[in-house]
Amino acid sequence: MSVQRRLHDELGISTDIAEERRRFVNRIEESVINRLDAVDEGTLEPIVRRVCYELGKSYDQIHLRHFGPNPRFVGQSNVPPLRRTYGDSFEDFLTVLATLYEIGSNAKVATIRKWLDTDIPSALDRAGTKLDLRWHKGMFYRSGEDVLDREVVEKGLNCLDPWPEASRTFTDALKAHSEGNPDVVLTKCYLCIESLAKAITGADGSLDKLRERFGSILGLSREENRLLDTLVLCLHPGRHTGAAGTVRQIGDEQAEFVLYVTGAVARLAARRHQTGRN
C-alpha cells in the first residue's frame, strides 16, 4: 500500500471519485503517456491512429484541432499527442490504456505492456479512495469479489493460453461485461467453450455435436457434465439445437454468473487436458 493510501486510511481522509480519477490520469500520463509521446513519429502515428479507431474518433479532426488548418512543423512532431484522443473523458482514457496494451503485442513496442503492467496497479494502489477497478492482462475489471474474480475469471483466462481462439473469445466476453453488454457476454462465452471443444477433440462442428466427446476426453463426472450442459443451455438455447433461436436477453448479474461458470469450465478443461497429456 502506498504512503498516501496509508495516511488516508489512518487519518480518515477521503477524496471524491472525480479527484481520484484525475490523479490516476495524471500519474499514468507522467509514467506512460508522456514517454509514448516522445517516441519517433514513425512509431507514434500508427499508435495514435489505432487509438482513434478504437474510440471511434477521426484522426484528421484531432490533428486539425491540435495543429490548426495551416500547421508549420519546424522541429516538432507532426503527430498529435495521445492525450488529445481522450480529452477529459475517464472512460475514453481507460479504453486508450487497454488499446495500448493490445498494441504492445507487437514486438517493436512490447515495452508498452511492461510500462502498463507496472504503473497501472501502482497508480490504482495510490488512490486515496478506491476506484473500484483492477487491471489484469490488458483489461480493467470492476473490483467486485476480488478473490472470486482472481480464482475463477482470471485463472480461467490464464488457463486458455494454449488455445488462442478460446482465449480471445473469453477476453471479448470480459470486455463486453465491463462495457455493460450482457447479451454479447452470452455469445462470446458460448463461442469460447465451443472453440475449446473443437481444439481438444480435434473435430469441427457445433458444441451440441462435440460436447459429449469433449466431456469424455476430459473425463468429466456426471455432475461436471451436467454443469457443462446447463452452461450450454444458458448461453445459446437456439444454437445448440439447430433451431431458429436468438441469444437470450439477460442482465448484468446473470452475465457475471455465466462468466464465472465459463471460467470454471475453462480451468477444469485445461487441468484435465494437461493431466491426460502427462
pLDDT more than 70, % of the chain: 78
Residues of the chain with CATH 1.20.120.330: 150-277
> What value, to the nearest 5°, has the Cα angle with vertex 16 and ends 10 and 18?
140
152 neighbors 267 (Cβ within 8 angstroms): yes
Q: Is residue 81 packed enough to be buried (19+ CB in 10 Å), middle (13-18) or exposed (0-12)? A: middle
The confidence score (pLDDT) of residue 100 equals: 95
Per-residue burial over 108-140, b = 16 or more CB atoms within 10 Å of its CB, e = otherwise: ebeebbebbbebbeebbebbbbebebbbbebbb
200 neighbors 233 (Cβ within 8 angstroms): no
129-180 pLDDT, tens digit per residue, is 567 788 887 888 766 545 445 555 666 677 788 888 888 888 888 878 777 7
Q: How confident is the model at residue 51 (pLDDT cuts 50, 70, 90)?
A: very high
Neighbours of 69 (CB within 10 A): 5
What pTM does this model have?
A: 0.56
The confidence score (pLDDT) of residue 7 equals: 47
The confidence score (pLDDT) of residue 18 equals: 84
How much is the average pLDDT of 218-230?
79
- Give the CB-side neighbour count of residue 45, counting CA atoms within 13 A: 8
Residue 96 in this model has a pLDDT that exceeds 90: yes
182-217 pLDDT, tens digit per residue, is 888 888 888 998 998 898 888 988 888 888 888 888
Phi and psi at residue 120, in whole multiples of 5°?
Answer: -65, -50
256-265 pLDDT, tens digit per residue, is 888 888 887 8
The confidence score (pLDDT) of residue 13 equals: 46
Look at 233 and 213; give whichever has higher pLDDT: 213
How much is the average pLDDT of 102-131?
87
Closest residue by Cα to residue 176 from 189, 163, 167, 164: 189
Helix (H) or strand (E) holding 53: helix 41-55
Q: In the CATH scheme, what architecture does the domain 150-277 have?
A: Up-down Bundle (1.20)
Helix (H) or strand (E) holding 139: strand 139-142
Look at 62 and 235; give whichever has higher pLDDT: 62
Helix (H) or strand (E) holding 171: helix 164-178
Look at 36 and 150; give whichever has higher pLDDT: 36
Residue 109 DSSP label? G
